[in-house]
Amino acid sequence: MTTVAQKLLLIARDFPPDFSPGVPRIERFARNLPESGWQPLILAMEQEAADSQAATKLDDPSLNSIIVERCRMKKWYRSQPAAATTNKTQTTASAPPEGKQPAQSETPARPSRLRPLRQWCVNLKDLLIITPDKAIGWVSPAVATGKRMIREHNPQAIMTSGPPHSIHLIGRRLKLATGLPWVADFRDPWARRPWGHKKQNPWGQNLYPWFERRCVETADRVILNTEAMADDFRRFYPQWESKFLAIPNGCDGHLVERIEQLLGEIPARSAAEPLTLTHAGSLYRERDPRPLIEAIALLNQRGIAIRFEQIGNCSGDFNIPTFLRDHDCGEYVSLTPPVPRDEALRRMAAADLLLLIQPGTDLQIPGKLFEMLPFRKPILAVAHAGATADVINQYQLGAVATDHTPQAMATVLENLIQHRQRSDADLRWDKAIHDFDGRTLTAELAATLNAVTSGSNESTTTADVETPPQVTMTS
């Protein structure tokens, strides 16, 4: 007797061929769920042509059998200009010529008396159009498309994955409209962000706790991607403690095979070549590479030849070209703009050590860590004590620099280089890859879906009438 697979409406902003940091997790679930008796139906955002760059594309024919529907953000939201921000990106290590400085006005501009009013207007606009985040304009079209997909395909459950966390508002509305079980997947914190408020939309960010609570209250299960995050939610919502569970990110079998192939194609490094420490991903806000670059320079001064390779965007707030010139360390650093995913994997395969920068976020483990596992290369984690450091230490995958001063990081990195060849290395990597196997973790998701559809959860649906808290509008 053939068992008919149950269907899951899985909602996320991005899905292959589009790529963003959260896509590997969604792709992993979608690829492996059928083995556990669940057929995914994907609802994703239709990206603008300008947002669909070659460097952000995934080409994976094995996903072609999955039903994927896309809808666009509301036209008015699409027409809004990108918000002005100081977080510009730099992708080259070039600096202004010696003696040349950017032109400056000879007389400093006077502070405008209208600036507070202008800022008040900007804050009000942000509150209205990007609360809780910039994907809010996709909520209504996605709800309409989701209702149609539910009528046509009759799924047994709904799942949303964020950030952006406004995706969970889609799941909540569909849950209230249809009564289907809803599982909310939080890849990052929402109301209790470890890096604090962003500069943009300060008023809207005050509403995050209200949005989060409403979603937690309505969802049948809430998945967090670390046990530390799950414990945080349990402490904050003790009345719904049984709803929370942790399913971490993991390794994908097809990715392991591709990485092994790339490793076999990399020529052996000659003893005369410097070691390469590679970071693939964006650097912004707390992910500041400048202390590490100083540490790299210190090691080279000690006779340890090593260079730092950054692949991806780097915030203009760090002003790396000027920093390299002022510290006379440009020869040790390579900045490369975003590249296609396979090329990033190739560069990681050619590296001697891999870098993870995750400071000040004790609840989170970046998905990049699990992507690093199949390379079996020592990992330097610039992080505080917490979930990321725990995995590195538990499996002895490398070293954790908890003191982020250049001198301290140089010491940790030097020790990692000296002990990077260990006789038990294969056993440690094998255990980590086994424990974070994507198929096993997806089976845990399937078990959760089986539980909520079998009625073994407590119903928590509430009327959608609660009034949001007032926002104090001050500039």
Give me the phi and psi of 409, to 5 degrees please.
-65, -35
286-292: average pLDDT:
95
pLDDT at 268 over 80: yes
Q: How far apart are CA 308 and CA 4, in angstroms?
A: 52
Q: Could you read off the pLDDT of 406-459 as tens digits, one per residue?
A: 999 999 999 999 988 775 678 899 999 999 999 999 999 999 999 999 975 444
Query: Residue 88: what pLDDT?
Result: 47
Establish whether domains 6-81+132-250+439-453 and 253-435 are of one fold.
yes
Query: Residue 149: what pLDDT?
Result: 98
Tell me the domain boundaries of the chain: 6-81+132-250+439-453, 253-435
Q: How far apart are CA 283 and CA 450, in angstroms?
A: 39
Q: How far apart are CA 436 and CA 429, in angstroms?
A: 11
Q: Could you read off the pLDDT of 279-288 as tens digits, one per residue?
A: 999 999 899 9
**Residue 442: enclosing H or E segment and its boundaries?**
helix 438-453
The domain over range 6-81+132-250+439-453 is classified in CATH as 3.90.1720.10: no
80-85: average pLDDT:
48
35-51: average pLDDT:
85
Q: Could you read off the pLDDT of 123-153 as tens digits, one per residue?
A: 888 888 888 999 999 999 999 999 999 999 9
Query: Residue 84: what pLDDT?
Result: 39
Alpha-helical (H) ranges within 179-249 are: 202-205, 208-218, 227-236
Q: How far apart are CA 397 and CA 24, in angstroms?
A: 21
pLDDT at 464 over 80: no
Instruction: Answer whether 418's CB lies under 8 Å from 275's CB.
Output: no
pTM over 0.85: no
CA angle, corner 344, sides to 424 and 58, nearest 5?
A: 115
Worst-scoring range by mean pLDDT, 73-77, 195-199, 240-244, 436-440? 195-199
Query: Residue 19: what pLDDT?
Result: 83
Question: Which of 225, 207, 256, 288 lies closest to 21 in space, CA to CA?
Answer: 225
Question: Which of 365, 370, 366, 380 lies closest to 277 in space, CA to CA?
Answer: 380
Q: In sequence order, what DSSP letters do the residues of 365-430 get, joined into one string?
A: --HHHHHHGGG---EEEEE-TTHHHHHHHHHT-EEEE-S-SHHHHHHHHHHHHHT---TTHHHHHH
- Residue 471's pLDDT band (boundaries 50, 70, 90)? low
Query: Residue 6: what pLDDT?
Result: 97
Give me the phi and psi of 298, to 5 degrees please.
-60, -40
Question: Which of 386, 391, 416, 418 lies closest to 402 in space, CA to CA?
Answer: 386
Query: Residue 362: what pLDDT?
Result: 85
Topology (CATH) of 253-435: Rossmann fold (3.40.50)
- Residue 361's pLDDT band (boundaries 50, 70, 90)? confident
pLDDT at 104 over 60: no
212-236: average pLDDT:
97
Give the rounded percent of residues in the chain with a pLDDT score beyond 70.
83
Query: Residue 254: what pLDDT?
Result: 87
Worst-scoring range by mean pLDDT, 21-25, 175-179, 196-200? 196-200
Give me the residues paired with residue 89 across strands. 315
Q: How far apart are CA 449 and CA 159, in angstroms?
A: 9
